């Protein structure tokens, strides 16, 4: 999964610090540039690719509203501001979301999940057999063997210090790799739910009392990831 490249611009240093901290906690986001002036952001965006812009509205010299009129239309925009009265205008400028300061992590995750879904629309399930492309198959080293598996057959991955346990139907494979490192290479239908667990959302059978039921396992969803997990579950609600 290619991370969504983020640019943050806000004339309040504390706001920039908060947003960069939030971005660092979301696996599918990566910060590529931050600054305190819209002019600086404009210069960067004219010369470098980006996917998502977090921008304050009320800034000196060049406002956030003026900035987005000059950047590539492919860049998604989330406005960040202390002024609620700009909300309607922000949506008329095709903003994905509007975050009112002080911005909570819960509200932040809801906004960026919208962006994630724009870049990664849900797959349509059907009963027809699907030929899995080679890119969706991987080899893992288990003991002295190299085993080929498909991403969608994995139920969940558990982190154990410098190792991960890949859990499939009736199988467990221990691989010498850190969970954090593996997370960046997983397809978008995987979701971290806990410091120690990443689950395949396609194989989740039930969510109940902050627990994910998947196969015979009952995995707890931690407070840190609860909002993001539930947002992604709600996006699949029929």
Q: How confident is the model at residue 10, as a pLDDT?
A: 96
pLDDT digits (tens, 9 = 90+) for 121-165: 655 444 444 444 445 778 888 767 788 888 889 999 999 888 899
Contact by Cβ (8 Å): 10, 37: no
pLDDT digits (tens, 9 = 90+) for 156-204: 999 988 889 999 987 888 888 889 888 877 888 899 999 999 999 999 9
Q: How confident is the model at residue 87, as a pLDDT?
A: 52
User: Mean pLDDT score of the chain, rounded to an integer?
Assistant: 85
3-state secondary structure of 132: coil
- 6: closest CA among 112, 138, 117, 146? 112
Give the whole-angstrom CA distance, residue 18 versus residue 14: 6
Give the whole-angstrom CA distance, residue 128 versus residue 50: 37
Please name each of the domains of the chain with its CATH number: 4-119 (3.40.50.2300), 134-234 (2.40.50.1020)
Contacts of 80 (CB under 8 A, 6+ apart): 10, 15, 19, 54, 55, 56, 57, 99, 101, 103
Q: How confident is the model at residue 86, as a pLDDT?
A: 54
Is 90 exceeded by the pLDDT of residue 23? Answer: yes
3-state secondary structure of 175: strand
Q: How confident is the model at residue 130, as a pLDDT?
A: 44
Q: Is the peptide bond before 203 cis (omega within 30 degrees of 0)?
A: no
- Helix 13-24 to helix 105-119 angle (10° resolution) is 60
- 160: closest CA among 196, 199, 200? 196
Q: Count Cβ atoms below 10 Å from residue 34 Cβ, excluding itself.
A: 20
Q: Which of 30-34, 135-139, 193-197, 228-232 has the lowest mean pLDDT?
A: 135-139
Q: Could you give the percent of the chain with pLDDT greater than 70? A: 87
Of residues 128 and 7, more confidently modeled: 7
pLDDT digits (tens, 9 = 90+) for 37-47: 999 999 999 99
> How many CA atoms lie less than 13 Å away from 169 in the CB half-sphere?
7
In angstroms, what CA-CA distances link 192 with 27, 117, 184?
8, 16, 11
C-alpha distance across the termini of the chain, in Å: 26
């Amino acid at each position: 999964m290619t991370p969504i490249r983020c640019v943050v611009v806000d004339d309040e240093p504390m706001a920039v610090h908060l947003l960069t901290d939030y971005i660092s906690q979301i696996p599918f986001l990566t910060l590529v540039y931050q600054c305190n002036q819209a002019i600086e952001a404009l210069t960067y965006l004219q010369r470098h690719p980006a996917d998502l812009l977090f921008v304050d509205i009320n800034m000196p010299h060049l406002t956030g509203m003026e900035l987005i009129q000059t950047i590539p239309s492919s860049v998604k925009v989330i406005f960040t501001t202390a002024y609620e009265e700009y909300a309607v205008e922000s949506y008329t400028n095709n903003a994905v979301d509007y975050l009112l300061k002080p911005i909570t992590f819960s509200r932040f995750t809801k906004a960026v999940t919208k962006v994630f879904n724009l870049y990664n629309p849900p797959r349509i399930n059907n009963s027809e057999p699907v030929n899995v492309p080679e890119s969706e198959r991987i080899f893992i080293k288990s003991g002295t063997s190299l085993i080929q598996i498909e991403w969608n057959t994995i139920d969940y991955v558990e982190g154990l210090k410098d190792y991960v346990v890949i859990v499939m139907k009736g199988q467990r494979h221990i691989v010498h790799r850190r969970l954090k490192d593996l997370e960046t290479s997983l397809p978008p239908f995987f979701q971290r739910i806990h410091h120690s667990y990443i689950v395949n959302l396609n194989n989740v059978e039930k969510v109940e009392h902050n627990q994910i039921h998947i196969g015979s396992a009952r995995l707890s969803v931690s407070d840190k990831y609860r909002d993001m997990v539930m947002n992604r579950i709600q996006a699949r609600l029929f």
